Amino acid sequence: MNTLLLGRYYPGESILHRLDPRAKLIGGCYFIFLLLLASNWQAYVLLWIFTLTVMRLSGVKFSVYYRGVKPLIWLITFTVFLQVLFTAGGTIYVKWGIITISSYGLVNGVYIFCRFVMIVFVSTIVTLTTRPIDLTDALNYLIRPLSKLKVPVDEISLMLTIALRFVPALLDETQKVMDAQRSRGTVFGKGSIVRQMKTLVPIFIPLFSSSLERAEQLANAMEVKGYQSGKSRTTFRKLSWRKKDTRSLFILMLLTILIILLPS
């Protein structure tokens, strides 16, 4: 549980830490679009170089990113495995019923693996270098025009703030409960599927109870502080867009042009 990096923030003074959260949020979403745009190995090499460079500039050790992607590697591998077995095209190497291993499926499987890993890395970069409250303020600013369509922007931002704030706390609480169960002799990950499911029951019950208690405490704190849904509120933190934020998005535009100009 302590290897998952969703919602975790690593304090630092790197160039990425000092960027406006809106620039990082826009850049992260735009990079995912670039991954979908890439269609050849030259483009993926270019995107890997960019990703590794940004990881270096974040000031966070590469081992931290590896720990973040490690819990998801089996899910990514399973997705690639399905892609390889059920995608036909190019030279056929193995043909057995609906299972087909072809050159197109192998190449596409490698592309999908790179795509998923880079998405995890870039998403991790955004969350590690941006405080959750700043990320929420950025999202609130970006979706503010939707308020003209009667979309509850403030409520959505509040829910995201609470989620980003308490996901790491819930993961840490899960780890504590599992350690407590291990001290009582519980063994996780061994035995039949039914036995492994039974060992999870003593985890879910205290987690569910503590989540309800934390939610009640949060609701009481918000009520004491006078929070009311639908009321206009001022903000204590002011976002400031600077030239370096514009330059960071300009670099992504240059990367897009290079990918488009690459031979297909």
Distance in angstroms (rounded) separating the CA atoms of residues 132 and 121: 17
pLDDT tens track for 19-56: 999 999 999 999 998 888 888 888 999 999 999 999 99
Claim to verify: residue 194 and residue 264 sit in the same structural domain: no
Q: Are 213 and 114 within one domain?
A: no
pLDDT, residue 264, reads 64
* 139 and 175 part of one domain: no
- Examine the domain organization and report whether 144 and 15 are in the same domain: yes
| Same domain (yes/no): 14, 130 | yes
Same-domain status, 107 and 168: no
Q: Let me know whether 35 and 77 are in one domain.
A: yes
HSE-up of 16 (CA within 13 Å, CB side)? 26
Q: From residue 123, how far is each of 55, 128, 216 by CA, in Å?
A: 11, 9, 31
- Gap between the Cα atoms of 121 and 55, Å rounded: 8
Say if residue 98 is in the same domain as residue 36. yes
Residue 157 lies in a domain: no
Residue 7 resides in a domain = yes
Q: Based on the domain organization, do 139 and 169 belong to the same domain?
A: no
Whether residue 120 is contained in a domain is answered as yes
Residue 96 lies in a domain: yes
Structure confidence at residue 27 (pLDDT):
92
pLDDT of residue 30: 92
- Token pair belonging to 182: 């291990």
Q: Indicate whether 79 and 18 sit together in one domain.
A: yes
State the total domains in the chain: 2
How do the pLDDT tens digits run along the chain, 264 residues long?
A: 455 566 677 888 889 988 999 999 999 999 998 888 888 888 999 999 999 999 999 888 888 888 777 777 888 888 888 878 777 777 777 777 777 777 778 888 888 899 999 998 998 888 889 887 788 788 888 888 887 887 777 778 777 777 777 777 777 778 788 888 778 777 776 767 777 777 777 777 888 888 788 878 888 887 787 777 666 666 667 788 889 999 999 999 999 998 888 876
Q: Quick check: is 158 in a domain?
A: no
Do 63 and 172 lie in one domain? The reply is no
Q: What is the pLDDT of residue 26?
A: 92
Residues 75 and 185 in one domain: no
**Domain presence at residue 159:** no
Domain of residue 45, residue span? 1-152+239-264
Residue-level pLDDT at 233? 66
